[in-house]
A and B are shown apart, each in its own frame.
Chain A
Amino acid sequence: MLLFWLLGILLIASAVFVVMQRKPVYSVVGLLLHFAILAVFYLTLNAEFLAVIQIVIYTGAILILFVFVIALLSSGTEAFAAGPNRMPKAGVPAALLALVALGLLIYGVSRGNLFASGAHVAASTSIAGPPGTANVFGSVADFGKALFTTHLLPFEIMALILMVAVVGVVALAGDESPYVPTRKRASAVEREMREAIVRAGEG
């Protein structure tokens, strides 16, 4: 209990750090800490595979993507000069409202009966046994079996979603994007202007 809330407070503090920072690079560092602590939580919940995935996907891929974009956008420009507070007047009421909603949520949860039925117990048989072996809850083998038998269709749909996302990203931000006046087009315009000046000088 003590350890849980010690880690929990670290988790909340790193989340607040992410939101409060003025420069997004510091936010990325806070997010890194957040994800690492979250991986510890996943381990205590017997989610071995997801703890590893959390580190590999989130800190290894998504955060690196954030860092790349920050490095790309903030080279020699004042892109992020905007202040931290969008609604200086609305900030305090909004925070109060969020706190009230949070209180209601926790109140409702504490009144509800979450332990009523054991109807959802299924699939994995036991929690005992050596880690990593089949039919032990949370082991990689158990997760893989669930993913590739019971939940195969969602897995395939996930693959489709990822492919659509990749195509969408290339279409949006690729070099030949129709939405962006690209450098190539700008340099072409510049060359035409220069040629026009040269022609005017010759003529």
Chain B
Amino acid sequence: MPGTLPVAIENYIALSAVIFFVGVAGVMLRRNPLIMLMSIELMWNAANLLFLAFSKMWLNNAGHVFAFLVITVAAAEAAIGLAIVVTVFRSAKHVDVDEVNLLKG
């Protein structure tokens, strides 16, 4: 057992899973795209917490690098997502994801 975590790894997995599913619920149930984006951020962070927990567990800092990568991608995603929201708002004057169906086949 390489690294000693503050608590057993199962606790981290359970906590991370709960937060991830809160984020999933936010994306599925909300209509406001800003809150959907924030829910996506919650999911990114749940994954990050688990990366760091396993990293400490195996004393291998590849998990740290991967978490850093995830933060970068999350930042890019937030920027592009917000740009899309702004674009949709400027052309449609409302932000409701159910009414954005221009690309529907």
Contacts and interface: CB of A to CB of B under 8 A. Distances in A.
Given A102-B17, A121-B58, A146-B64, A66 B29 contact: no
Residue of B21, B32, B87 with most chain A CB atoms under a 10 A cut-off: B32
Given A21-B35, A94-B28, A165-B76, A41 B89 contact: no
Interface string B58-84: 111110110111011111111110111
B58 to A, nearest CB: 4
Contacts, number: 245
A92 B33 CA distance: 21
A18 B42 CA distance: 9
Contacts of B14: 106, 109
Contacts of B104: none
Contact of B9 (A84, A114, A164): A114
In this complex, the interface size class of chain A, counting residues with CB under 8 Å from chain B, is: 35 or more
A118 to B, nearest CB: 6
Residue of A62, A85, A182 with most chain B CB atoms under a 10 A cut-off: A62
15 contacts: A12-B19, A12-B22, A27-B34, A58-B45, A66-B37, A82-B32, A87-B28, A101-B21, A106-B17, A109-B14, A110-B10, A122-B59, A123-B59, A151-B62, A173-B87
In this complex, the interface size class of chain B, counting residues with CB under 8 Å from chain A, is: 35 or more
Given A12-B15, A180-B90, A24 B32 contact: yes
Nearest to A95: B25
Contact of B86 (A73, A106, A146): A73
Interface of A: 1, 4-5, 8, 11-12, 15-16, 18-19, 21, 24, 27-28, 31, 34-35, 38, 41-42, 44-47, 49-50, 53-54, 57-58, 61-62, 65-66, 69-70, 72-73, 77, 79-80, 82-87, 91, 94-95, 98-99, 101-102, 105-106, 109-110, 114-115, 118, 120-124, 127, 137-138, 142-143, 146-147, 150-151, 154-155, 158, 161-162, 164-166, 168-169, 172-173, 177, 179-182
Residue of B6, B22, B28, B75 with most chain A CB atoms under a 10 A cut-off: B22
